[in-house]
Amino acid sequence: MILAPADFKKINTLTRMIKTLKDQYDVYTAGYGPSVFRDIPFTNATRSVETEMSLWDKISRHCRYIYYKLTSDWERRYWLDYRIVSNDELQKQNFDLVIVQNINFLPVAFRIANGKSKVMFDPQEIYFAEYDSNKEWVRDHQPRIVNICKKYIPQCDMVSFYAQEVYECYKNFCHIQKHIIATSAGYFHDLQPSEINPEHIKIVHHGIADYNRNLHLAIEMMENVDKRFHYYFMLMVTNYDYFGFLKDKARNNPNIHFLEPVPTDKIVTAINPFDIGHFSIPPVHTNYKYTCPNKYWEFVQGRLCVAVGPYVTLKRITEKYNTGIVFDDFNIETQARQINSLTPEIIKDYKLKSHQHAYELSAEPQATKILNGVNSLFN
């Protein structure tokens, strides 16, 4: 059973997990929406909401919620928030292994396992410090998350981390029984690096347009970048006000362009004609310091020279494989200076390094690690 509070078809890591396991195991899924695999059984694990309750139940729930919060009874407070309607149905199925990808469903996974199934946790974030720069999150949510981490992660039969640095972070926070390291890299694409026009070197950033991404800093960076560089945004608009702000801010710079977004599975081929993949969002909280987003792996598969901020994990990977530059800091003047130092010859060499390591830095080798890890639980 793969359990996640998500629409499975929208989460690439869940799709890859299913694909990795489904040929050797009977895979079932439970969450908010089925996967892209029609032959994989799905159970709708809906969360109880107040609209389904009577007025008396709502008042009772609210009073208990306040009491549990005041007494720091995070376990009981949790079950007020995360009561899974289909929990009884899932418990009857006697799974051999329950895989859960989100900390908020980890206690649910143990309820389903009910002492009969093994549990594997696949964290995609450093949950206990996910938004630790946000005072409201620290006050209202961190104690609950810390409680779940310290109580349930040590009970997991296996934990899969996307980077060694993330494992070290968790290991220093709570006990880990057994673990594997498997990155969240996307599938291998059989492409060639594109040719570079020295007078029109193309930088690309793809992702969502939202305030917390601070994409306007890239526009400010371009004010100090040589005219031979052009910056292309390929953005999915989640905040139209911010998107309008970006376009207005870039209006007087002819070297900044906005492209239509493409479907997720078309991103790699869409960015292949570009030269540099840029990602440098200031790490406003601890979780961001260890970020390793999908776009990084897509830059490599697109055979680009990567240009990234000094995030802990991305710095190690980029320097190990020599696929691009790591900025000295998140200052836009620093980034502009380092981009200006790139010649077509240097960029070409980095693009060739991405090409050389594209398979190694893809999902296929990671799938082997995951499959071996799961198999080891039953040997």
Q: Which pLDDT tens digit goes with each residue over 16-60?
A: 999 999 999 999 999 989 999 999 999 988 665 555 678 888 888
| pTM reported for the whole predicted model | 0.90
Q: Which pLDDT tens digit goes with each residue over 346-370?
A: 999 999 999 999 999 999 999 999 9
Name the residue among 253, 257, 300 with its Cα closest to residue 277. 300
Domains defined along the chain, listed by start: 2-47+82-186+364-376 (3.40.50.11930), 201-356 (3.40.50.2000)
User: What are the residue ranges in the chain where pLDDT is below 70?
Assistant: 46-52, 81-88
DSSP for residue 326: E
CA separation, residue 318 to residues 21, 62, 259, 350, 366 (Å): 29, 49, 27, 10, 18
Which pLDDT value is given to residue 52? 67
Q: How far is CA 76 from the centre of its chain?
A: 29
